[in-house]
């Protein structure tokens, strides 16, 4: 269910009061009036969704690993020069080189398109370290090569299992890999060519693109994280707690959304989390309201953690100039590189925290990619906090009016 709870009877809880509302699914919440400023947002520039994601994919939780324009969120390893041409990542070399995501993933569904020549020997690496010693134990390599170039034809797992050979189609081809625990399933051009079960699976690592020989091109690279559990049951605040000094009001809508109004205040999980992928939908019911999702917080303290900002304002009509860090920015650490979300429209936020590395996607578009290089410290205001902590939704000020729904988390394995 991925935490998507709809059609529930009205239930409401407040801090000191009881209140109930209704919300519509998709666009604007229904059954109550929007802020009087809502009409103003229709004149703003449209939100720049990445072209490789459809609205349904965004709603399902897909994220774009490649934005079609830059190598934001990627890091090269080796002597190969990776280039972007008309929305395509390309490389051509007689030497081996890699392009890895800066983020690491555990369970996922990966989709991409590739184009290779007859002379190509390339691959897509799963759960990989940046420095590979043994491809048979350190990671999983999905090979891209003809039978003439390699004993492991396209779709095989190198040094693990050969895939079924299918007749290659000219032009662009599709690759889909589902990795769950020790099970790896590979599809080429929509056909299943391999199913592999690893009794001692590699549990977490980077996604990597490789060129070893010839020309290779990749595009439309996207990933759906798997393994989520819901953090909110849509009925009551089981698993959540308020703070005695909180001035915010929390209500639960008829469709199972949380509404956080007023502040200064917070709503905090009872459980703690260290490394994870968190996904949730957010609706800002006001013009340029300020809120945030805090994580790895010191339990019981007021908003003492890393903050993934919620603020859809930008300066001078330029979405590349966020106001107050911008939605998806790591507040006071790294601004969002683009404001993707709009007020008065539901948007999906994906937060990845993995050791000192943190990344955020808004509507599937990556807006931050940050590493905390400070010395370790249990207080995240003073240094790198790696200890598990709570997740907090912020009521920033008396004007706060934010909705949250489909709140789910997938914890990442330890090293």
Tell me what pLDDT residue 25 has: 35
Domain count, the chain: 2
- Statement to judge: residues 132 and 245 lie in one domain: no
What mean pLDDT comes out for the span 399-404?
Answer: 96
Residue 308 lies in a domain: yes
CATH number of the structural domain spanning residue 219 = 2.60.120.560
What mean pLDDT comes out for the span 75-99?
Answer: 94
Tell me what pLDDT residue 39 has: 37
pLDDT in tens, 127-156: 999 999 999 999 999 999 999 999 999 999
Asked which of 201, 225, 249 is the last residue of a domain, the reply is: 225
pLDDT in tens, 240-249: 999 999 999 9
Distance CA 391, CA 241 (A): 11
- Statement to judge: residues 43 and 120 lie in one domain: no
Residue 15 lies in a domain: no
- Statement to judge: residues 86 and 194 lie in one domain: yes
Reported as a pLDDT band with limits 50, 70 and 90, residue 105 is: very high
Residue 206 lies in a domain: yes
Q: How much is the mean pLDDT over the chain?
A: 89
Tokens of 324: 């107050």
What mean pLDDT comes out for the span 377-402?
Answer: 96
- Statement to judge: residues 123 and 249 lie in one domain: no
Tell me what pLDDT residue 27 has: 58
Residue 29 lies in a domain: no
- Statement to judge: residues 212 and 277 lie in one domain: no
What mean pLDDT comes out for the span 339-368?
Answer: 97
Asked which of 175, 198, 225 is the last residue of a domain, the reply is: 225
Residue of 301, 268, 282, 260 lying closest to 351 (CA atoms): 282
Reported as a pLDDT band with limits 50, 70 and 90, residue 415 is: confident
- Statement to judge: residues 123 and 262 lie in one domain: no
Q: Which residue has the higher pLDDT, 3 or 118?
A: 118
What mean pLDDT comes out for the span 29-36?
Answer: 49
What mean pLDDT comes out for the span 275-279?
Answer: 98
Residue 405 has pLDDT above 50, yes or no: yes
- Statement to judge: residues 282 and 262 lie in one domain: yes
Residue 230 has pLDDT above 90, yes or no: yes
Structural domain of 164: 65-225
Residue 364 has pLDDT above 80, yes or no: yes
């Amino acid at each position: 269910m991925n935490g998507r709870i709809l059609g529930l009877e009205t239930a409401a809880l407040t801090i000191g009061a009881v209140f109930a509302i209704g919300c519509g699914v998709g666009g604007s919440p229904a059954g109550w009036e929007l802020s009087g400023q809502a009409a103003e947002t229709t004149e703003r520039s449209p939100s720049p969704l990445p072209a490789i994601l459809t609205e349904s994919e965004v709603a399902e939780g897909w994220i774009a690993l490649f934005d079609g324009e830059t190598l934001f969120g990627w890091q090269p390893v080796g002597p190969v020069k990776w280039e972007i041409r008309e929305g395509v990542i390309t490389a051509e070399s007689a030497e081996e080189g890699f392009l890895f995501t800066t983020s690491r993933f555990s369970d996922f569904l990966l989709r991409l398109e590739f184009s290779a020549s007859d002379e190509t020997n390339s691959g897509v690496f799963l759960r990989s370290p940046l420095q590979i010693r043994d491809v048979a134990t350190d990671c999983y390599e999905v090979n891209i090569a003809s039978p003439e170039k390699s004993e492991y034809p396209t779709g095989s797992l190198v040094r693990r299992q050969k895939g079924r050979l299918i007749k290659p189609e000219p032009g662009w081809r599709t690759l889909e890999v589902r990795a769950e625990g020790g099970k790896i399933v590979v599809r080429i051009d929509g056909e299943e060519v391999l199913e592999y079960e690893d009794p001692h699976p590699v549990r977490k690592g980077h996604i990597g693109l490789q060129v070893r020989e010839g020309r290779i091109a990749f595009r439309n690279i996207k990933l759906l994280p798997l393994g989520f559990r819901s953090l909110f049951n849509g009925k009551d605040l089981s698993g959540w707690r308020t703070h005695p000094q909180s001035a915010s009001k929390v209500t639960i809508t008829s469709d199972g959304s949380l509404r956080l109004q007023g502040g200064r205040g917070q709503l905090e999980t009872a459980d703690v989390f260290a490394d994870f992928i968190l996904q949730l939908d957010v609706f800002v019911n006001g013009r340029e309201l300020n809120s945030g999702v805090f994580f790895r917080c010191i339990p019981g303290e007021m908003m003492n953690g890393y903050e993934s900002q919620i603020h859809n304002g930008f300066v001078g009509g330029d979405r590349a100039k966020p106001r107050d860090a911008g939605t998806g920015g790591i507040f006071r650490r790294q601004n969002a590189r683009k404001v993707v979300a709009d007020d008065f429209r539901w948007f999906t936020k994906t937060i990845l925290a993995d050791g000192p590395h943190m990344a955020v996607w808004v509507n599937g578009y990556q807006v931050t990619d940050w590493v905390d290089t400070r010395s370790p410290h249990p207080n995240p205001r003073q240094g790198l906090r790696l200890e598990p902590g709570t997740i907090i939704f912020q009521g920033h000020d008396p004007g706060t009016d934010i909705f949250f729904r489909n709140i789910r988390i997938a914890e990442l394995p330890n090293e």
